[in-house]
């Protein structure tokens, strides 16, 4: 592989890791379109490289987020059951769908989530009264000098969203955070930073549920996947650090914009 | 309980860092030398890091005797291992 291609993949991975870790979505959402549409990588090789990069992003950003107490471990474990079942199913089903169907599914999912996120960006989930019991799955969040409490609501919805997120992840090479973060934040009472950190913690496991299927099928192009993952590592550490400094509302609007843009772009490709 | 979860988080963080360091080293060597074998092992090691992470969590929670979440975590581990099994035997 020529050196300038390696550099291009490294840079692509770094950019996807930076934004992906900041929003807790892994970065597959940028990687798959970039690799397929701009760099001409076949979709299944792009999905496989993306899943590996998602694992790199999840692992690297979690070393930062665990240190800062942003990961809700119990919630992550409960939801991982649903995402990993969905992930394995999606990975196995991927060979049954056409490229065009994959693109439509991808674009449609993103656009809907983007609209949802934008509509509800003004709401906050945290309670300033620290005497409130966060419950078994809830937790506390430190922002500057203030400690907030949050409770997890509608666990069934979070589990259902995680199952779908897992399946979409296995099919499309995403982390699945693109579905989990908006649902956890807008419907389940989880603050955006905790939703992002917890999702980032989970997406490595979601991706791992399907990535072995791709690997065994020979879809992993080693130098492409390696260069993208190597770029994603420093990118996602920087993204995780940056995510903690940005205002919560700005994070939500940024995420909504990203979803609408990428979703629209993918949908246009098919039309 | 919270203190124990924090201790477990430290162990997980170390496991993730070791997995990252080893796979990064192999991927760098593979890319620079243009060698397939270190690339393959680096990618496989990276893919296995989340599986090891879930195994560490399962073991940690069992040590803490938090049986509900040990069971939850064990189910995740079983799904991941069955994914690997299916991939190898297809």
pTM of the model: 0.87
The pLDDT value recorded for residue A249 is: 81
Structure tokens at A125: 């989930």
Of A92, A205, A223, the CB nearest to B50: A205
- Nearest CA among A194, A88, A95 for reference residue A147: A194
Of B27, B69, B86, the CB nearest to A230: B27
Q: Does B62 contact chain A (CB < 8 Å)?
A: no
Would you say residue B81 has pLDDT above 90?
A: yes
Which whole number is the average pLDDT over B7-27? Answer: 91
Task: Give yes or no for a contact between A147 and A66, defined as CB atoms under 8 angstroms apart.
Answer: no
Question: Chain A 145-174, CB below 8 Å of chain B: which residues?
Answer: none
Compute the distance between CA of residue A79 and CA of residue A76 in angstroms, rounded to an integer: 5
More confident residue, A135 or B19: B19
Q: Where residue B18 falls among pLDDT bands split at 50, 70, 90?
A: very high
Taking an 8 Å cut-off on Cβ atoms, the answer to whether B31 and A220 are in contact is no
Task: Give yes or no for a contact between A54 and A175, defined as CB atoms under 8 angstroms apart.
Answer: yes
The length of chain B is 90
- Is the ipTM reported for this complex over the cut 0.90? yes
pLDDT in tens, A136-167: 778 887 777 777 888 888 989 999 988 888 88
Taking an 8 Å cut-off on Cβ atoms, the answer to whether A81 and B72 are in contact is yes
The pLDDT value recorded for residue B20 is: 92
How many residue pairs from chains A and B have C-beta atoms closer than 8 A?
A: 132
What residues in A contact B51, CB-CB < 8 Å? 208
Give chain A's residues under pLDDT 50: none
Q: Does B45 contact chain A (CB < 8 Å)?
A: no
Would you say residue B1 has pLDDT above 50?
A: no
Nearest CA in chain A to B14: A63
Nearest CA in chain A to B17: A63
The pLDDT value recorded for residue B59 is: 92
Task: Give yes or no for a contact between B23 and B42, defined as CB atoms under 8 angstroms apart.
Answer: yes
Find all residues with CB under 8 Å of A151, minimum gap 6, and list them. Answer: A127, A132, A134, A135, A138, A189
Of A87, A92, A212, the CB nearest to B47: A212
What residues in B contact A73, CB-CB < 8 Å? 5, 8-9, 57
**Would you give the distance in Å from CA A269 to the centre of its chain?**
22
**Would you give the distance in Å from CA A214 to the centre of its chain?**
19
Q: Does B31 contact chain A (CB < 8 Å)?
A: yes
pLDDT in tens, B52-73: 999 999 999 899 888 988 999 9
Would you say residue B28 has pLDDT above 90?
A: yes
> Which of B22, B38, B40, B46 should we substitute to test contact with A (largest number of A Cβ atoms within 10 Å)?
B46
């Amino acid at each position: 592989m020529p050196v300038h291609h390696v550099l291009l993949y490294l840079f692509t991975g770094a950019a996807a890791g930076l934004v992906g870790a900041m929003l807790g979505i892994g970065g597959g959402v940028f990687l798959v379109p970039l690799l397929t549409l701009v760099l001409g990588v076949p979709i299944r090789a792009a999905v496989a490289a993306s899943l590996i990069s998602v694992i790199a992003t999840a692992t690297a950003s979690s070393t930062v987020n665990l240190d800062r107490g942003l990961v809700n471990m119990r919630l992550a474990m409960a939801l991982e059951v649903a995402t990993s079942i969905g992930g394995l199913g999606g990975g196995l089903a991927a060979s049954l769908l056409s490229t065009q169907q994959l693109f439509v599914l991808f674009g449609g999912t993103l656009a809907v989530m983007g609209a949802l996120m934008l509509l509800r960006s003004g709401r906050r989930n945290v309670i300033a009264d620290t005497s409130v019991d966060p419950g078994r799955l809830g937790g506390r969040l430190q922002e500057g000098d203030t400690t907030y409490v949050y409770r997890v609501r509608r666990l069934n919805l979070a589990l259902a969203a995680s199952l779908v997120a897992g399946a979409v992840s296995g099919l499309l090479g995403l982390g699945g955070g693109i579905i989990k973060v908006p649902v956890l934040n807008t419907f389940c009472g989880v603050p955006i930073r905790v939703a992002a950190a917890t999702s980032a913690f989970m997406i490595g496991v979601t991706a791992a549920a399907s990535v072995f299927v791709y690997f065994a099928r020979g879809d992993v192009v080693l130098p492409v996947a390696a260069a993208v993952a190597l770029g994603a590592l420093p990118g996602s550490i920087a993204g995780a650090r940056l995510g903690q400094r940005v205002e919560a509302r700005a994070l939500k609007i940024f995420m909504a914009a990203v979803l609408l843009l990428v979703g629209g772009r993918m949908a246009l490709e098919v039309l | 309980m919270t203190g124990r979860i924090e201790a477990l988080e430290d162990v997980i963080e170390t496991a993730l860092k070791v997995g990252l360091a080893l796979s990064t080293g192999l991927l760098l060597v593979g890319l620079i030398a243009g060698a397939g074998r270190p690339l393959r092992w680096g990618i496989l090691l990276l893919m296995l890091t989340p599986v090891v992470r879930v195994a560490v969590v399962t073991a940690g929670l069992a040590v803490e005797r938090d049986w509900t979440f040990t069971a939850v975590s064990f189910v995740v581990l079983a799904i991941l291992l069955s994914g690997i099994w299916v991939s190898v035997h297809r």
